[in-house]
């Protein structure tokens, strides 16, 4: 079960839905589609990056903090002035590159991966490291990367999600045991101006059956496309998994499974828990 809510405009661009963008690409010759889409979506996310305040970086550890913040990190694209202001001197090789070259290097590294799942993991790592490069990769190479970020590769990623799970929070997990604490959980998410939510209970994922909490790959991938194709700022997007358990015996027996380790609750039992 997937539910999607859209209501956002980046700069003064009118957003298009991810589904419309995907259908558009599928119906057009790739180069033609990308040229037309380029006129409908923003070319950069500089406005979002402008929210990172220089005055917040005042301690000896600030350089590490900036480089470990995906929305702020620019890799070697930090200018000499920025390296001084953010206390990055010595933390980066001396050469200053452009964000365009950083994106080209990331694409070169991705293309050296031998399987779609390896490419998916690489992209997740990039999203956790440098959001600017990540979304530039998607926007400039949509036809090539869409099958990696979303179908069909996201299906395999969901099946392997507990094994490739990364510690960086990419969404909220709300289990049936959290009933009565949902407001608290929502408050734990650092971004407050949320305009696009995609959530799933993981019961039916791309015809693969019950994926439980492993279904998080679907809302994460879908919202990445909302940003890349429709211009929804990533900080306004929130992936959510509603964890009601799972009937997937393989996952219940898997010591690495990240979700609620019990049979899926449904029907009257679920309604009673939800009303508690």
Q: Is 150 a catalytic residue?
A: yes
Residue 49 lies in a domain: no
Q: Is 222 a catalytic residue?
A: yes
**Per-residue pLDDT tens over the stretch 205-220:** 888 999 999 999 999 9
Choose, from 87, 134, 222, 257, the residue flagged as catalytic: 222
Point out the annotated binding site. 204
Number of domains in the chain: 1
Residue 99 lies in a domain: no
Q: What angle is formed at CA 139 by the lines to CA 138 and CA 144, rounded to 5 degrees?
A: 55
**Closest-CA residue to 248 (of 207, 209, 201):** 209
User: What is this structure's pTM?
Assistant: 0.77
Mean pLDDT along residues 40-54 = 41
Point out the annotated binding site for (S)-malate. 204
pLDDT at 39: 42
Residue 121 lies in a domain: yes
Residue 204 belongs to domain with CATH number: 3.40.50.10380
Range of the domain at 196: 2-41+116-275
Q: What are phi and psi of 106, to 5 degrees?
A: -65, -40
pLDDT at 19: 42
């Amino acid at each position: 079960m997937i539910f999607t809510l859209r209501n956002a405009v980046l700069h003064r661009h009118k957003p298009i839905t991810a589904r419309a963008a995907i259908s558009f690409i599928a119906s057009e010759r790739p180069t033609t589609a990308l040229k037309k889409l380029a006129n409908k979506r923003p070319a950069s996310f500089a406005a979002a990056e402008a929210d990172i305040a220089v005055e917040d970086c005042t301690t000896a550890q600030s350089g590490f903090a900036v480089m470990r913040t995906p929305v702020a990190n620019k890799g070697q694209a930090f200018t000499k002035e920025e390296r001084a202001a953010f206390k990055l001197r010595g933390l980066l090789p001396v050469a200053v590159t452009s964000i365009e070259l950083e994106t080209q290097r990331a694409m070169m590294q991705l293309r050296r991966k031998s399987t779609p799942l390896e490419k998916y993991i690489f992209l997740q790592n990039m999203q956790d490291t440098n959001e600017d490069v990540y979304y530039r990769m998607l926007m400039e190479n949509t036809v090539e990367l869409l099958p990696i970020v979303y179908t069909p590769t996201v299906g395999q990623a969901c099946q392997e999600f507990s094994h490739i799970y990364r510690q960086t929070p990419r969404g909220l997990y709300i289990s049936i045991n959290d009933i009565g604490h949902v407001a608290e959980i929502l408050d734990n998410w650092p971004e407050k101006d949320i305009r696009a939510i995609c959530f799933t209970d993981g019961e039916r994922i791309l015809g693969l059956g019950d994926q439980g909490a492993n279904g998080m790959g679907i809302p994460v991938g879908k919202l990445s496309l909302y940003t890349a194709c429709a211009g929804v700022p990533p900080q306004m997007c929130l992936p959510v998994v509603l964890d009601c358990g799972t009937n997937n015996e393989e996952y219940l027996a898997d010591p690495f499974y990240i979700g609620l380790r019990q049979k899926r609750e449904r029907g009257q039992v679920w309604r009673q828990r939800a009303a508690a």
